[in-house]
């Protein structure tokens, strides 16, 4: 069975500050990992994904994430937060023989002026 | 290219009634997935349809059911509605196995049970 833990249901940063959203997973086999973003009253949009290859993955809107197998982590970062980044962010994992992604509970990113 | 479309956007039902939610996948996508997003619970997997067949089911009671049509569109039916069924229901589609491609989500149907 696979699981995803997102530390912190809410993360608050100032505009221009570093964004760090944490995601740890458990999977019995090398996983596929995803980050999605959900803006208010919208569905989820794929930010980035790791399947194989380079462990540092770049996504849209300046976000990137690094797959660290030893730490079973896939944290999402952005060097400088913008007001438009305020949204809900979900980490998801596919692994353990299942083709169905398991999602974390989400982290709400709040950006202060 | 049209994205994943869901209808209706909002639905209000009375406890005990039935609700029908609809999803049209992206053209060329054969798999449709349904998720329930209840407040504070993240996304809970409901159902996966591929090529007209139910491939997997999440941990939900049988009153949650659905089907996929020959054009790959899908319906989610919720019978005997309960207050706790109030949630955002999201549909996603993919081609092939989601692992390699990721999902494309619709904007969801907000179901409110009163």
pLDDT in tens, B30-80: 999 999 999 878 899 999 999 999 999 999 999 999 999 999 999 999 999
Higher-pLDDT residue of B82 and A94 is B82
The pLDDT of residue A27 is 73
The pLDDT of residue A61 is 93
Q: How confident is the model at residue B85 (pLDDT cuts 50, 70, 90)?
A: very high
- Separation of alpha carbons A52 and A33, rounded Å: 10
Query: Do residues A34 and B102 make contact, with C-beta atoms less than 8 angstroms apart?
Result: yes
Cis peptide before B8 (omega within 30 of 0): yes
The pLDDT of residue A43 is 87
The count of other CB atoms within 10 Å of the CB of residue A80 is: 12
Phi, psi of A81 (to 5 degrees): -75, 145
Rounded mean pLDDT, B93-109: 81
The count of other CB atoms within 10 Å of the CB of residue B15 is: 11
- Separation of alpha carbons A27 and A94, rounded Å: 8
C-alpha distance from B18 to closest chain A C-alpha (Å): 23
Distances (CA, A) of B99 to A49, A77, B35: 9, 22, 17
HEC-encoded secondary structure of B29-42: CCEEEEEEEECCCE
Rounded mean pLDDT, A33-49: 91
The pLDDT of residue A99 is 76
Query: Do residues A100 and A4 make contact, with C-beta atoms less than 8 angstroms apart?
Result: no
Nearest residue of B to residue A4, measured between CA atoms = B42
Contact partners, residue A16, CB within 8 Å, separation at least 6: A80, A81
Query: Do residues A96 and A30 make contact, with C-beta atoms less than 8 angstroms apart?
Result: no
SS3 B85: helix
Q: How confident is the model at residue A28 (pLDDT cuts 50, 70, 90)?
A: low
Rounded mean pLDDT, A14-22: 97
Query: Do residues A61 and A76 make contact, with C-beta atoms less than 8 angstroms apart?
Result: no
Residue of B41, B48, B102 lying closest to A46 (CB–CB):
B102
Instruction: Return the percentage of chain B with pLDDT > 70, whole number.
Output: 95
- Average pLDDT taken over every residue of chain A: 91
- Cβ of A44 within 8 Å of Cβ of B102? The answer is no
Residue of B42, B102, B104 lying closest to A103 (CB–CB):
B42
Q: What is the pLDDT of residues A65-112, one digit of tens each?
A: 999 989 999 999 999 999 999 999 999 998 767 778 889 999 999 999
Residue to substitute from B8, B93, B99, interface A, most A β-carbons within 10 A: B99
Q: Which helix (H) or strand (E) holds B101?
A: helix B98-101
Q: How confident is the model at residue B1 (pLDDT cuts 50, 70, 90)?
A: low
Q: Dmax over Cα atoms in chain B, in whole Å?
A: 40
Higher-pLDDT residue of A95 and B110 is B110
The pLDDT of residue A113 is 94
């Amino acid at each position: 069975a696979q699981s995803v833990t997102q530390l912190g249901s809410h993360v608050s940063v100032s505009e221009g500050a570093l964004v760090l959203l944490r995601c740890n997973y458990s999977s019995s086999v090398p996983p596929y990992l995803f980050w999605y973003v959900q803006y208010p009253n919208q569905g989820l949009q794929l930010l980035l994904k790791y399947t194989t290859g380079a462990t540092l993955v770049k996504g849209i809107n300046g976000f990137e994430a690094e797959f660290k197998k030893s730490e079973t982590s896939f944290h999402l970062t952005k060097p400088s937060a913008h007001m438009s980044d305020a949204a809900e962010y979900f980490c998801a994992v596919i692994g353990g023989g299942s083709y169905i992604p398991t999602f974390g509970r989400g982290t709400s990113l709040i950006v202060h002026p | 290219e049209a994205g994943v479309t869901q209808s209706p956007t909002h639905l209000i039902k009375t406890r005990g009634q039935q609700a029908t939610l609809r999803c049209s996948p992206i053209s060329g996508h054969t798999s449709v997935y349904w998720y329930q997003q209840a407040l504070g619970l993240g996304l809970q997997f409901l159902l996966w349809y591929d090529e007209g067949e139910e491939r997997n089911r999440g941990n939900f009671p049988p009153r949650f059911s659905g089907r996929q049509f020959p054009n790959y569109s899908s319906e989610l039916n919720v019978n005997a509605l309960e207050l706790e069924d109030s949630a955002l229901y999201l549909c996603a589609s993919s081609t092939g196995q989601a692992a390699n491609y990721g999902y494309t989500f619709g904007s969801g149907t907000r179901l409110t049970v009163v």
